[in-house]
């Protein structure tokens, strides 16, 4: 039938098919744009070749649809029927006859219904992909921010290094000059004393030589009368000096180098106090000078921003005070670990106990320079507070970092932030697999510093990375370590160093 009307129908002038449009399957030569597709003929027709479907009675019963490409792919290969349904069991498109044979009893739905389901799934996938893109964009920003912070830290480190090491070089040069000057002055004093004694001895030798000549002249005369008459004119010798007790004592240089190094330490400490960044690390001359030269070991052998091999000489052995623990906190037997259990532990009432916030303070007061480490899990605030912090109520005056009596470092899922007087300062560094924080209090310098303690791989030393430093003119009131364990299941442990 198709061959019959192909040869009989006169093609009228119509636009040729454009790219992306469905062409007429009947046109020869230049194909025209199809206006309908017949699902019975499996053929697409232009307006001219579609005319028989509007005129011939048998063709009028055919189902016409909007132009479709590759109509053969839309027909069931087993039954030559239109694929109108979707089998959810086998996840394939089927025709009506398929539901009576291979897909019998399988749940099937119209293509449009499954299309809407799949479209919704694609929308969800697209949303997830977009979320993943945003997360990676945020990660790129975090990495760039970290690099920017690292670059700023590097610039500051270089500038501070030039300043302090130049001051150190000048101080060492001055120390060397002063030391040499002191030694030279002592040597000159000894030489002057020796020169005076030598001159005195040479004068006595000269006088004695003259007398010796005079005596020889008398002894050479043979005139007895003349010798006896002139003997009385021989001058009496000067009273002799007892030189047996006279000696030149070599100068003592004991303590000279010690005093020079003491002065060098004092000068360097003054120079370092001019650089807050260096003070934040509690560096002193004794922390970089060879052990034994100054008589003291380094205060902090774990060098900041690097690997540390040895013990911390400023380490404090701290424990938690059960009388301060909130009743929903559980303490270990050795009072070193605290866990938020969310259940009343039936602690006795005590005026030092926090009645609202899940906090606990240390038993030992912090004096001088102190270093300790805290292993944390969950969500915690690690900090330091004056003993006089409020223990009652839910206001900011009773939680670590919520007032001007306490300072804290917030730790949660790899994030850090500094807390003081109710203000929060987000820190750029992440935990990077570390759940340990080092705390260094230098009361004389007025600094409280926090460090990330990262475990070394393959048995190598751990690494300290500076997180934040608070500055304060600490009063004489007792300072205590403290922990706020915020979430149920969170914990904090005071480490043994």
- Best CA proximity match to 447, nearest among 480, 466, 470: 470
**Helix (H), strand (E) at residue 259:** helix 256-272
- Helices 111-220 and 256-272: crossing angle, nearest 10°? 150
> Quick one: pLDDT at residue 10?
43
> Quick one: pLDDT at residue 305?
35
Length of the chain measured in residues? 497
Q: Are 24 and 34 in contact (CB under 8 A)?
A: yes
Percentages helix, strand, coil for the chain (3-state, rounded to 5) are 35, 20, 40
> Quick one: pLDDT at residue 456?
65
pTM value? 0.43
Q: Are 485 and 380 in contact (CB under 8 A)?
A: yes
Pull the structure tokens for residue 257: 């180098």
- Best CA proximity match to 486, nearest among 405, 400, 392, 385: 400
> Quick one: pLDDT at residue 272?
62
> Quick one: pLDDT at residue 365?
95
Residues in the chain where the model's pLDDT stays below 70 = 1-15, 234-238, 252-255, 269, 271-313, 431-432, 456-461
What is the SS3 string spanning 423-492? EEEECCCCCCCCCEEEEEEECCCCEEEEEEEECCHHHCCCEEEEEEEEECCCCCCCEEEEEEECCCCCEE
Which residue segments constitute the domains of the chain, with CATH numbers given?
Answer: 2-74 (4.10.830), 114-245 (no CATH), 322-494 (2.60.120.920)
Q: Are 168 and 174 in contact (CB under 8 A)?
A: no
Whole-angstrom distance, CA of residue 85 vs CA of residue 93 = 6
The contacts of residue 166 (CB under 8 Å, 6+ apart) are none
Pull the structure tokens for residue 69: 């490409």
Whole-angstrom distance, CA of residue 185 vs CA of residue 297 = 32
3-state secondary structure of 75: strand
Q: Are 302 and 308 in contact (CB under 8 A)?
A: yes
What is the signed CA dihedral for 206, 209, 214, 220, rounded to 10 degrees? -160
Distances (CA, A) of 155 to 108, 142, 149: 68, 20, 10
> Quick one: pLDDT at residue 398?
92
> Quick one: pLDDT at residue 271?
66
Whole-angstrom distance, CA of residue 250 vs CA of residue 253 = 9
Distances (CA, A) of 342 to 322, 352, 488: 16, 20, 6
> Quick one: pLDDT at residue 235?
66
Whole-angstrom distance, CA of residue 174 vs CA of residue 264 = 9
């Amino acid at each position: 039938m198709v061959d019959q009307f192909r040869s009989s129908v006169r093609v009228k002038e119509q636009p040729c098919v454009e790219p992306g449009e469905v062409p007429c399957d009947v046109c020869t030569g230049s194909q025209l744009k199809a206006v309908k597709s017949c699902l019975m003929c499996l053929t697409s027709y232009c307006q001219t070749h579609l005319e028989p479907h509007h005129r011939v009675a048998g063709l009028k019963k055919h189902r016409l649809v909007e132009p479709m490409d590759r109509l053969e792919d839309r027909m069931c290969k087993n039954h030559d029927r239109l694929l109108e349904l979707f089998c959810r069991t086998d996840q394939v498109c089927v025709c009506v006859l398929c539901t009576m044979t291979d897909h019998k009893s399988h749940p099937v739905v119209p293509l449009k219904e499954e299309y809407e389901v799949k479209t919704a799934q694609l929308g969800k996938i697209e949303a997830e992909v977009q979320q993943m893109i945003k997360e990676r964009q945020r990660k790129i920003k975090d990495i760039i921010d970290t690099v920017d912070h690292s670059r700023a830290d590097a610039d500051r480190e270089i500038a501070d290094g030039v300043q302090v090491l130049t001051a150190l070089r000048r101080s060492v040069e001055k120390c060397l000059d002063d030391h040499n000057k002191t030694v030279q002055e002592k040597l000159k004093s000894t030489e002057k004393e020796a020169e005076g004694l030598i001159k005195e001895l040479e004068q006595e030798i000269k006088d004695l030589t003259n007398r010796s000549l005079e005596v020889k002249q008398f002894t050479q005369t043979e005139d007895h009368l003349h010798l006896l008459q002139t003997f009385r004119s021989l001058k009496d010798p000067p009273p002799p000096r007892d030189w047996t007790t006279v000696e030149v004592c070599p100068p003592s240089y004991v303590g000279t180098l010690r005093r020079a190094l003491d002065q060098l330490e004092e000068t360097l400490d003054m120079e370092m106090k001019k650089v807050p960044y260096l003070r934040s690390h509690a560096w002193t001359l004794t922390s970089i000078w060879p052990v034994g030269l100054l008589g003291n070991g380094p205060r902090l052998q774990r060098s900041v921003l690097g690997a540390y091999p040895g013990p911390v000489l400023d380490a404090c052995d701290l424990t938690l005070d059960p009388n301060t623990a909130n009743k929903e906190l559980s303490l270990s037997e050795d009072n070193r670990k605290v866990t938020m259990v969310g259940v009343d532990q039936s602690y006795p009432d005590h005026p030092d106990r926090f009645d609202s916030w899940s906090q606990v303070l240390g038993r030992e007061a912090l004096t001088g320079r102190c270093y300790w480490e805290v292993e944390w899990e969950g969500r915690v605030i690690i900090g330091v507070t004056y003993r006089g912090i409020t223990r009652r109520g839910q206001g900011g005056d009773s939680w670590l970092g919520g007032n001007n009596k306490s300072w804290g470092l917030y730790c949660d899922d790899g994030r850090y932030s500094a807390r003081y007087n109710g203000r929060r300062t987000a820190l750029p560094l992440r935990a990077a697999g570390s759940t340990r924080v080092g705390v260094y209090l230098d009361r004389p310098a007025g600094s409280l510093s926090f460090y990330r303690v990262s475990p070394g791989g393959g048995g190598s030393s751990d690494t300290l990375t500076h997180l934040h430093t608070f500055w304060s003119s600490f009063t004489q009131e007792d300072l205590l370590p403290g922990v706020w364990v915020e979430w149920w299941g969170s914990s904090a442990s005071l480490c043994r160093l």
